[in-house]
Homo-oligomer: A and B are copies of this chain.
C-alpha cells in the first residue's frame, strides 16, 4: 500500500463510511429468514474457500515468524482447517439465534390518544477495532449482520492477508445472495493515522467497539468522537471471607486463576480475611504453586506461604494475564469492598462466604459488571450466561455492562402514532 496523506485517509474512510451507510439501509429491510440464509451461505463459502483462507493466513504467519511474534500471539493468528470449520460453525449458530430486531420492548397510550411503541432497531453502522485474530473478522461480522448492522472492521496489521481473504469470501457470498456486500467492510490500510482517523468517523459510524488489550482500549477512548463501548480489561478479584467454606475456596481460586490465564475474566488478585488466613492459605498456596502460579503476598501471606514474594501497591492495580497472583490480607468485609472498588476495572469480582448477609452486602456494594457469590469469575462470558453469542465484555456503565450478546448490538426508537394531536 502507498502511504496516504491525511486528506487521502479521509477520502478513503469517508468512502467506506458512505458504503456502510448505504448497506445499513438495505440491512434494516431484511427479515430474519433472509439474514439467517445469508449467514449460512457465508458459512458455506468459508468452508468451500478453505484453501484460499489457509494460503492467505500462511503469508501472515510467515511474516509474523520473521518478525519474531511471540508464540501465544502466533497461535491466535494461525488458521487451521478445524479453526475455519469452527469459524463457519459460529456463523451457523448465530443464524439460529432469535433475532432481536423489531421487538416491541414497551408500548403505552397517552391520555391525549397518542400510541407510543418502543421498538428495538439496529445500531446502524458498527466499527470494530481488534488485534491480530482472524476469527474475530467472521465472528464480528456474524453478530453485526444478525442484528441488522453494517460493520466496518479494522483488524490487527499482522492478520492483513487473512482478514482480506475472509472479508472477500463473505462479501462474495453476500453478493450471490443479492445482499449489499458492503455489509462487511475492512479497513485495509495499516497506517496508524488511518486508525485514528477512523475513530473520528462520527458522521458514518454509530458505535465503536475496541476488542483487545488495555493499550488499544485507552487509545480508542482518548481519540474517538464516536460513542465507544469499552471492553475487556479485567483486574478481577476474589475475596475469601471469614465465613468462607475452604472446601469451595481452593477449587474456585485455582479455576479463576489458572483455567485460562490470558483472558479478561481470570482472577488477578486475591483478598483473604485475616481470621481465616491460617486455615486457608497453606492449602491454597500449595495448590497454586502446583499450578506454577507466582504468589505475591503481604507479610501475613508470606508467613503462611514461604514461597510467596513480597507484593507492592503497584501489583494490586495490575492485570497480569499471566501465572501471577497478588494476595492481600484484610481485616474486614468493608476493607475488602473498599480495596476492590479502588483497584478493580469494573469487570468481575467474587466473594466466597457462607454468610448470606455478608454476601448480599458484597453484591450490593462492589461496583462491577458481574459480582459473584461462591463461583469462579471465569463465568463472565456471553455463552456461559446463555446469550448464545458474545461480542465482548463491557466494563463501562453506559448502554451495556458485562457480557454483550445480540441485544446489546441494538438500539431502539420510539414510534408514535396519532390522529392530529398538537401540543397545548
Residue contact A402 to B423, C-beta cutoff 8 Å: no
Residue contact A255 to B422, C-beta cutoff 8 Å: yes
Residue contact A221 to B202, C-beta cutoff 8 Å: yes
Residue in B221, B399, B411 whose CB lies within 8 Å of A225: B221
Residue contact A379 to B421, C-beta cutoff 8 Å: yes
Residue contact B371 to A413, C-beta cutoff 8 Å: yes
Instruction: Say which one of A32-40, A67-75, A169-177, A357-365 lies at the interface with B.
Output: A357-365
In the bound complex, CA of A202 to CA of B423 (Å): 40
Q: For A92, what are the chain B residues with a Cβ–Cβ distance below 8 Å?
A: none
Report A184-218 residues with CB < 8 Å from chain B CB: 202, 206-207
Query: Which chain B residue shows the least CB distance to A265?
Result: B423
Residue contact B114 to A423, C-beta cutoff 8 Å: no
Query: Which chain B residue shows the least CB distance to A118?
Result: B402
Residue contact A259 to B359, C-beta cutoff 8 Å: no
Give the interface size class of chain A.
35 or more
Chain A interface mostly: mixed
Q: For A384, what are the chain B residues with a Cβ–Cβ distance below 8 Å?
A: 110, 423
With known contacts A397-B206, A411-B397, A416–B372 Cβ distance under 8 A: yes
Q: For A50, what are the chain B residues with a Cβ–Cβ distance below 8 Å?
A: none
Task: Indicate if A368 sits at the interface (CB-CB under 8 A).
Answer: yes
**Interface 1/0s, chain A 381-407, versus B by CB < 8 A?**
000111000000000111101100000
Task: Indicate if A5 sits at the interface (CB-CB under 8 A).
Answer: no
Task: Indicate if A276 sits at the interface (CB-CB under 8 A).
Answer: no
In the bound complex, CA of A417 to CA of B371 (Å): 9
With known contacts A110-B385, A206-B397, A373–B225 Cβ distance under 8 A: no
A-B contact pairs, 18 of them (CB 8 A): A25-B365, A108-B386, A227-B228, A245-B420, A252-B422, A256-B422, A363-B415, A367-B413, A369-B413, A369-B414, A372-B416, A372-B417, A373-B418, A374-B418, A375-B418, A376-B423, A384-B423, A385-B414
